[in-house]
Amino acid sequence: MQKQTFESPLGQSYVKAVLPNGLQIYIFEKPQYTTVHAIFGTHYGSIDTTFSKNGGKEITVPEGIAHFLEHKLFESEDGDAFTRFAETGAYANAYTSFDRTCYLFSCSNRFDENLDILLDFVQSPYFTAQTVQKEQGIIGQEIRMYEDNPGWRVLFNLLGKMFPSHPVHIDIAGTADSIAQIDDKLLYQCYETFYNPANMFICIAGNVDTEKVLKKIESGIRQCAPVQIKRSEFIDNEPVTEHLVTQELDVAIPMFCYGFKQKIDSPERSLKTRICMSLLLELLCGDASPLYARLIRMGLINDEFDSEYFIGHGYATVLFSGESNDPERVAAEITKEIGNLRENGLDKKMFSAAKCSLYGSAVCRFDSVEAMASQLTECAVADFNLFDEFKLLKSVTIDDVYKLLESFDDDNTVLSLILPRAKSDEAEEV
C-alpha cells in the first residue's frame, strides 16, 4: 500500500492511500467531531456511454445505464442495503452525475458495521431479468417526473442547444426508450468495467482512526486485476446555432438559464482555471457586485439568482440562472456588464475582497465532515490536492482572472426559459 500525507496551512491533514489493486482511499481525521461521512465512488457517469475495456472493441451502451446500475446495486437476494443501514441508525444515499457514481452514508456510531455494509453491497451486484424489468418501470416514472421539473428542464433544454454532439445534453436517467434496452447482461458488463477497484475511490471524513480504517478496507476489497478503460473523447467546440429555447410549465414566475459556451482545447479544466472563474463570477455578479445590486434595484431578479462554472469532460459553460419577469433583460444586462469589465478592467479592491471571500468559504468547509468527504471526491475525480486551493488563491493575480473575459463570446450563448403555462380559454372563462 502506498501512503501519502497532505498538510494544510491551517494545521490539518489527510491521508491518501493507494492499494495494489489501484483503489484510492482518502481519509480526513476529525477527532473532535462525533459523526463520520463516507463515500464509495467510481469514475462512471452518465456521459460514459461509449468505451472500450483492456484494448478491446469499442462499445456503446444505452443512455442512463450508469444511473440504472446505481439503483440496482442497493438490491440483493437477501434484501436491500437501505434496510441494513436503517438497522444501524445510519443515513444512506447514492447519486449519479455526469462523471461519477457515489454511494454514501453518515453515522454517529457503529461506523465499522456501516463501512462493512457499504463495502459489501457496492461489491455484490445482483441482477436478473425480472428485477431489471421491475426497475425499468420505477426509473421510467422518475424520468417522467423530471420531464415536468422546471429547474431540471431549464438546464437540460439549454444543454441540448449548446452541446448537441456531447452526451452531457442527455438526461442522467436516460430516456424511456434507452432504459428499455437495458438488460442484466449489459448491467454486469458495465459493472465489471467501471466498478473495478482501479477505477474507484473511497473518501472518509470524521472521527475515525486512519490506520484501522485502511486495514479494514484493504481486507474488505475484492482483489482483481486492474482494467484499462478508454472513454470516447467528446470535445464540443461547435458554435451555437440556436440561441433561445422556451418551454411552458407550471411556474408562477419565468425561470431562466443563460449560458456562455466556452471554447476548450483539452477535455479537463485545471484547478487554477476553476478558481479564476470563481473569482471572476464573484466580481461579475456576486452579492457585492454592481451588477447584482443593479438587477435587484430594477426588480429583475430575486434571491434565487445564481451563477456557475459548469464543466466536465469535454464541455464547459458559464451559467446564470434564476427567476425573472423579464429574463431577456437580465441576459442583456449580464452581457453588457461583461463588456464593461472587458473594457474598463477589474476593480483591485473588489478583487482582493473576492479572494478573501473564497478563502473564507474554503476554510468554512473544514467545519463539515460531509463537505470534507465531498471535497475529497473532487480530489479523486480531478486528481488534485485538497489544499491546493489555498495556495492558488494566494498566487492568482488580477490579470489571470481578467484573461478569462476573453472566453465570453456574445455570439455563443443560449438563453433557456421556462414560462408559465398559458391558461386555457375554458379556465379563463371560469
DSSP for residue 300: S
pLDDT of residue 75: 87
Cα–Cα nearest to 286, from 332, 243, 366, 347: 347
pLDDT of residue 98: 95
58-97 burial, b for 16+ CB within 10 Å, e for fewer?
eeebbbbbbbbbbebbbbeeeeebbebbeebebebebebb
pLDDT of residue 247: 96
- Residue 376 CA to residue 116 CA, distance in Å, equals 20
Q: Which residues contact 106 (CB under 8 A, 6 or more apart)?
A: 35, 36, 37, 38, 90, 91, 369, 370
pLDDT of residue 426: 42
Work out the number of other CB atoms within 10 angstroms of the CB of residue 372.
23
pLDDT of residue 10: 76
Give the DSSP H or E segment for 315: strand 315-323
Which SS3 state, helix, strand or coil, does residue 274 take? helix
pLDDT of residue 395: 93
- Residue 161 CA to residue 171 CA, distance in Å, equals 14
Cβ-contact 361, 5 below 8 angstroms: no
* Sheet (strand 36-42) strand order: 2-7, 13-18, 24-29, 200-206, 36-42, 101-107, 91-96
State the catalytic residues: 70
DSSP string, 53-81: ETT---EE--TTHHHHHHHHHTEETTEEH
For the chain of 430 residues, list the mean pLDDT of each consecutive stretch of 10. 88 93 96 95 96 92 95 85 94 96 96 96 92 90 91 97 94 94 95 96 97 96 90 85 96 97 84 95 96 97 96 94 97 97 96 94 91 95 90 94 96 97 54
Q: Which residues contact 70 (CB under 8 A, 6 or more apart)?
A: 94, 95, 96, 101, 103
DSSP for residue 367: G
Phi and psi (nearest 5°) for 183?
-135, 175
DSSP for residue 357: H
Q: Which residues contact 311 (CB under 8 A, 6 or more apart)?
A: 262, 269, 274, 317
Cα–Cα nearest to 284, from 255, 310, 306: 306
Between strands 413-420 and 244-249, the pairing is parallel
pLDDT of residue 424: 55
Name the amino acid, one letter, at 2.
Q
Which SS3 state, helix, strand or coil, does residue 250 take? coil
pLDDT of residue 265: 81
DSSP for residue 385: -
Stated pTM of the model: 0.92
pLDDT of residue 324: 97
pLDDT of residue 376: 96
